[in-house]
Amino acid sequence: MIPITYELIKTDKQTGARLGRVHTPHGSFDTPTFMPVGTLATVKTMSPEELHSMQANIILSNTYHLWLRPGEDIIEEAGGLHKFMNWDKAILTDSGGFQVFSLSDMRQIEEKGVHFRNHLNGEKLFLSPEKAMHIQNALGSDIMMAFDECPPYPATYDYMKSSVERTSRWAERCLEAHKRPDTQGLFGIVQGGEYEALRKQSASDLVSLDFPGYAIGGLSVGEPKEVMNQVLEFTTPLLPANKPRYLMGVGSPDALIDGAIRGVDMFDCVLPTRIARNGTCMTSNGRLVVRNAKYARDFTPIDENCDCHVCKNYSRAYIRHLIKCNETFGFRLTTYHNLHFLLKLMEQVRTAIKEDRLGDFKESFFEQYGLNQE
């Protein structure tokens, strides 16, 4: 039994975007979709009930962080991550590959795996394809990610080539070590940086291993957005049309729209929750730094075009006051609104695909959001 299946419903006549539906053991979700990030088994300051109310249908959690705290053994003993955090819809866990390369300073990559230091206490740690599979099997996530190397940007062709080849060997070891292929779907991660030949090599290695879904990795690591869009342009067509495509670590409203246009189905990013905690909100007219003094007597909602309960019941002045006083409720309000904004944006993208007008939608959204058209 394959636990993760994808239904391609239609493609947009104006662009390469696809309307689809992903089925998982913890429910289905329409795509393109955005996944709120719940690093330490919580989408920071949000309750599961609030995530339900904004119609989040899948969230992401980080294997590296949960391995360190509280430990996958405790979560397994609780009955798995869904039970532990009282979330009954889909969960995707990443493999820890990215955190090892982004969080820890000392690290030594070898064929067997990666030696590095715990970013919390400096102790020596080791992660491998087998260990990453063991942890994710213990967490019980619906979608697991293969253990890969996310190389720095920029990287030389030679470095990238040997990294892609090792990531492909690691992907095979992940399939070998995965203990629950009937209830947890394992996605391969395509690497190769900005090099088309290496993206081709990585994609063909992974497609031949027949994963139930594929992620495009190695992006949103400091490259210009034109490079990201170019890499997507020549990478998504290499992936099977009947499987989900997940662009890791993206992103901003414009990157979500540009990714969907190039055939991406799933996105995750800490941006909406992270900027919320320093008092910045996404609105249909661009970003709004609600902690700014000019909002001290502004009794209008964060976004007059938003139908979320925050915009219906609370003013910029009130939210600014809470943020300035470092009141937790203030961060809860900005977080709820930002997540609702991105989830709503993806709903508008899906409707635009249905009506074959995603290109037009991009124009009008970019115009209103204040993004200069390239």
Ligand X SMILES: CNc1nc2cc(C(N)=O)ccc2[nH]1
Other CB atoms within a 10 A radius of the CB of residue 78 amount to: 15
Contact partner at residue 337 from ligand X, Zn ion, none, CB < 5 to 8 Å by partner kind: Zn ion
Exactly one of 306, 333, 339, 353 binds Zn ion (CB under 5 A); that residue is: 306
Nearest-approach distance from CB 150 to ligand X, in angstroms: 3
* Calpha distance 231→224 (Å, rounded): 11
Three-state SS at 115: strand
Q: Are 28 and 85 in contact (CB under 8 A)?
A: no
Q: Cis peptide leading into 251, omega within 30 of 0?
A: yes
Q: Which is nearer to Zn ion, 217 or 272 (CB)?
A: 272
Exactly one of 58, 60, 215, 308 binds Zn ion (CB under 5 A); that residue is: 308
Which residues are bridge partners to 289 per DSSP?
Answer: 280
**Region near ligand X per CB under 6 A, out of 68-76, 127-135, 192-200, 216-224:** 216-224
**Region near ligand X per CB under 6 A, out of 109-117, 218-226, 231-239, 350-358:** 218-226
Q: Does 316 bind Zn ion (CB under 5 A)?
A: no
For tokens 């609600």, the residue is: 290
Catalytic, out of 12, 205, 268, 303: 268
Q: Are 338 and 276 in contact (CB under 8 A)?
A: yes
Provide the residue count of the chain: 374
Please spell the DSSP secondary structure of 131-148, one letter per residue: HHHHHHHHHT-SEEE---
Look up 268 and say whether it is catalytic: yes
Q: What are phi and psi of 284, to 5 degrees?
A: -65, -15
Nearest-approach distance from CB 208 to ligand X, in angstroms: 20
Nearest-approach distance from CB 335 to ligand X, in angstroms: 18
Q: Distances in Å between the alpha carbon of 362 and those of 13, 355, 373?
A: 14, 13, 10
Ranges within 144-163 binding ligand X (CB under 6 A): 148, 150
Nearest-approach distance from CB 217 to ligand X, in angstroms: 2
Q: Does 64 bind ligand X (CB under 6 A)?
A: no
Two structure tokens written together for 333 = 């309000």
Contact partner at residue 308 from Zn ion, ligand X, none, CB < 5 to 8 Å by partner kind: Zn ion
**Region near ligand X per CB under 6 A, out of 27-35, 212-220, 233-241, 322-330:** 212-220
Q: Does 98 bind ligand X (CB under 6 A)?
A: yes
Contact partner at residue 193 from Zn ion, ligand X, none, CB < 5 to 8 Å by partner kind: none
CA atoms within 13 A on the CB side of 76: 10
Q: Does 337 bind Zn ion (CB under 5 A)?
A: yes
Exactly one of 144, 311, 319, 352 binds Zn ion (CB under 5 A); that residue is: 311
| CA 104 to chain centroid | 20
Residues in contact with Zn ion by the rule CB under 5 A: 306, 308, 310-311, 337
Known catalytic residues? 94, 268
